[in-house]
Amino acid sequence: MRVWTVGTSSAVPTSDRGLPANLIEFNGERLLFDCGEGTQRTLMSKKLGIMKIDKVFISHWHADHFSGLLGLIQTMELEGRERPLYIYGPPRTEEFTDRILDTGYFNRSYDIFVEDLVEGDEIVGEGYQVSPFEVDHGINAFGFSFEEESSKKANKDKMKELGLTNSPKIGKLKQGETINWEGEEIRPEEVIEEMPGRKVVYSGDTAKSENLIQNAEDADLLIHEATCLHEMIEDRKGHTSALQAAEVAKEASVEKLILTHFSRRYRNNEQVLLEEASEEFEETELAEDGKKFEISPHRPE
C-alpha cells in the first residue's frame, strides 16, 4: 500500500503547494481523496496514473477541495477513458457534480456514477472498504477511513518452534484445517493468527472532533489538516491547529501523523507547524505535494 499527499495547501495554492488531494494505491487500484486545483499536474509530474483512478471521494464542497474535478474528468475523456468513474461525497454531491458536468462544452466517453453518502455507509472494494464519518466544519463534511480486510498470517516464530518449514500445508492451516507434520498433528490455532488490515484516515477539514478520534483509532497513517499554529485557532473556525492534530493522533493511538492543509501564511516556514505538533506527538511528518508514504503489511510479532 502506498499513499501520496498530492495537494497540501489550504484555501489558496502557492507556487509549490496545490490545493487538497490525496491518493491511495492498493493492489493496483488508485483512490483519490479530494481533488483541489493543481491535482492533475502533481499526478502527472509524479507519474501517478490519472487514468488508473476509478474512485474519487470528496470530503466537502468548498471549492479548494473540488476545484480540480472538472479538469480531471475532461482529461480522462481526452485520453479516451472507457471504464466508469465513481464519485462519492456528503449530501448534495450528486447535485454539485451535475452542475460541474453542465459547465462548458465537452463530450464524455465514459459513464460517471455519483453517490451521496451518510455516516455508516461503506464503499467496498477488492480487499478494502472506505467509510465516511462526519466532522466539524460548519457544513456537511466528511473524513474518510480506508481499511484493508483482515487476513490470516502464519507466525514464523511459532512455525520455527514446531519445526514447520514453508510448505503448501501452511495454506491448509490458513483454511482452518489440521495438518500432519512429521508424525505430529498441528492445529491452525498453533500457528495462524488473524491480523487486522492496514488503515489510513483522512480528516478533511474539521475542528478537533471526537468522532474523528474514534474513527481514526489505531490507524497506521492519519492525514490531518493543520491549518495554523494553535495561537491562531480561534480565528480559524472549523479548522485544526498543528497542536490539535497531534492531540487527535495521540488520543487515537495512531502510528504516524501527516500534517497537511497549511495556510499560505506559513509558506517556507511550515517547520513551525511540525515543531508544535511534534512536542505532543513525536511520529509526525509534514506533507509535501507528491510525497509518498509506504505502509507495510501487518504481520504476527
Q: Which residues are part of the catalytic machinery?
A: 64
- Pairing verdict, β 221-225 and 256-260: parallel
Q: For residue 91, give the nearest of 124, 117, 72, 121 by alpha carbon.
A: 117
Q: If residue 41 lies in a helix (H) or strand (E), which one and from where to where?
A: helix 39-45
The DSSP code sequence of 138-157 is SSS-EEEEEEEPPEEEE-HH
Look at residue 292 and give its three-state secondary structure.
Answer: strand
For 203, what's the count of Cα atoms within 13 Å in the CB-facing half-sphere? 35
For residue 246, give the C-alpha cell: 497531534
Nearest to 62 by CA among 225, 210, 258, 246: 225
| CA distances from residue 166 to 148, 159, 172 in whole angstroms, order as listed | 25, 9, 12
16 grid coordinates: 509549490
CA distances to 90, 141, 227 from 199, rounded to whole Å, are: 21, 20, 23
Question: E strand or H helix at 152, and its extent?
Answer: strand 151-154
> Do 201 and 219 meet the contact criterion of CB atoms below 8 Å apart?
yes
